[in-house]
Amino acid sequence: MELVKRGFQVLKQIHSKLIHKYYQHLYRKRKLRTFLMGVGSLYLLRRLSQLVMLLTPSIRRNLLQRYGEESWVVVTGGSDGIGKEFCIQLAKQKFNIAIIGRNANKMDQVCLELQGFGVQTKFIVADFNNGYAVDFYNKIYEQLEYLDISILVNNVGAAEAGQFEQMKMEDSFMMFRVNALSTLMMTRILINKLQNRNKKSAVITISSGLAYLPSPLVSVYSGTKAFTNYFTQSLALTSKNTDFLSVTPLGVSTKMLGNRKGSNIVETNEFVKNVINDLRQGKTHSFGCYQHKQFINHLLWRNQNYRNKVKIQIGNNLMNCQMLKGNQKE
Ligand SMILES: NC(=O)c1ccc[n+]([C@@H]2O[C@H](COP(=O)([O-])OP(=O)(O)OC[C@H]3O[C@@H](n4cnc5c(N)ncnc54)[C@H](OP(=O)(O)O)[C@@H]3O)[C@@H](O)[C@H]2O)c1
């Protein structure tokens, strides 16, 4: 009898343990389900808000309201390519435009086109390849001092490809001055003016995807673009009253790429539209193109060997573009 009683008790204990475990399992399952539902709703909320931002321009920041009516945008290298497209799209939004470049005739033509949008224009002739002394930038500042400048677009850039040791020293030095020094010094001469306005201001820097994918045959160019990207993104963290946006695209169809077209090459109007949208949304970094963002992010996750192969391929492609550019000039 005693034995049966004990057996019964053991069975009862096992049963209650099993029930307990079952409830614990149910509880964990519910917790997991609640957690997954929470993550799911957060994701959905984020996507929905992005959709609303995209569909309702009035909810997006109105650029002219944010940066001030009648204010001026300064675009370096605004006579062609991406810079010219920035001039056009921002003039359409009623910003006055000041272009800095080396070719007076080309800038004059662009200014005439922009005046068609009912805005004021101005151009300053300056070859950034001559910008190796502070005085060069002081002279530019003297011509901008009296304008209410709200946005600076650090766009000017030049790319020469080739084996580093065989490249002309002048070309390496030129890229350093035109790409890196121009961004540093233009931002420096205008920063106080931008920060002390009643309205917000902005600095957009056109760096390059090569800032993340330093490639052979374009080592100097990649280095200068890494500098401008880091410089702009670091200023974004502590900026007063000024939005900083660093832009790192891969191929954009301009004369820099011999006007090449292709599925991985974005058109200037689409690229600039995306950058302006990212500025509106208050981002500090943009790829200006969804495919380029995907491509770079994907590569950064791959192993080094694979990444290096792609970088070598990019270097070779840019070398080909340089040849194409050369042929087009002839
Ligand atoms: N295209 C791309 O695939 C690509 C990709 C990533 C980043 N980016 C960057 O985007 C920016 C714009 O390039 P883009 O493709 O529009 O090139 P682009 O069509 O060659 O235009 C460059 C602009 O800069 C001007 N410029 C060049 N050297 C100058 C100098 N020494 N002094 C004054 N102005 C000068 C040019 O003036 P002229 O009209 O007199 O030549 C032109 O207005 C550059 O910073 C470039 O590195 C381009």
> In whole numbers, what is the pLDDT of the chain averaged over residues?
92
pLDDT digits (tens, 9 = 90+) for 285-314: 999 999 999 999 999 999 999 999 999 999
Report the residue among 88, 107, 140, 155 best suited for mutation to probe ligand 1: largest number of ligand atoms under 8 A from its CB. 155
Q: Which residues are catalytic?
A: 221
Ligand 1: which residues within 6 Å by Cβ? 77, 79-83, 101-103, 106, 127-129, 155-159, 178, 206, 208, 249, 251-252, 254-257
Domain residue ranges in the chain: 1-59, 63-329
E strands present in the chain: 72-76, 96-101, 121-125, 149-154, 201-206, 242-247, 285-286
Atom 8 of ligand 1, nearest CA residue: 208
Q: Which amino acid is at 237?
A: L
Sequence-ordered list of residues with C-beta below 8 angstroms from that of 158, at least 6 positions apart, any chain: 174, 175, 178, 179, 256
243 closest CA partner among 176, 152, 325: 152
Ordered per-residue pLDDT tens for the chain, 330 residues = 777 888 888 888 888 888 888 878 777 777 777 888 888 888 888 888 777 766 665 455 689 999 999 999 999 999 999 999 999 999 999 999 999 999 999 999 999 999 999 999 999 999 999 999 999 999 999 999 999 999 999 999 999 999 999 999 999 999 999 999 999 999 999 999 999 999 999 999 999 999 999 999 999 999 999 999 999 999 999 888 999 999 999 999 999 998 989 888 999 999 999 999 999 999 999 999 999 999 999 999 999 999 999 999 999 988 887 765 665 554
Joined together, the tokens standing for residue 314 give: 């990019």
Q: What are phi and psi of 125, to 5 degrees?
A: -85, 120
pLDDT digits (tens, 9 = 90+) for 166-218: 999 999 999 999 999 999 999 999 999 999 999 999 999 999 999 999 999 99
Q: What are phi and psi of 287, to 5 degrees?
A: -95, -15
Domain 63-329 has CATH 3.40.50.720: yes
Using the structure block, give the residue that is written with the tokens 């005085």. 135
Q: What is the pTM of this model?
A: 0.84
DSSP helix, strand, coil percent of the chain (3-state; round to 5):
60, 10, 25
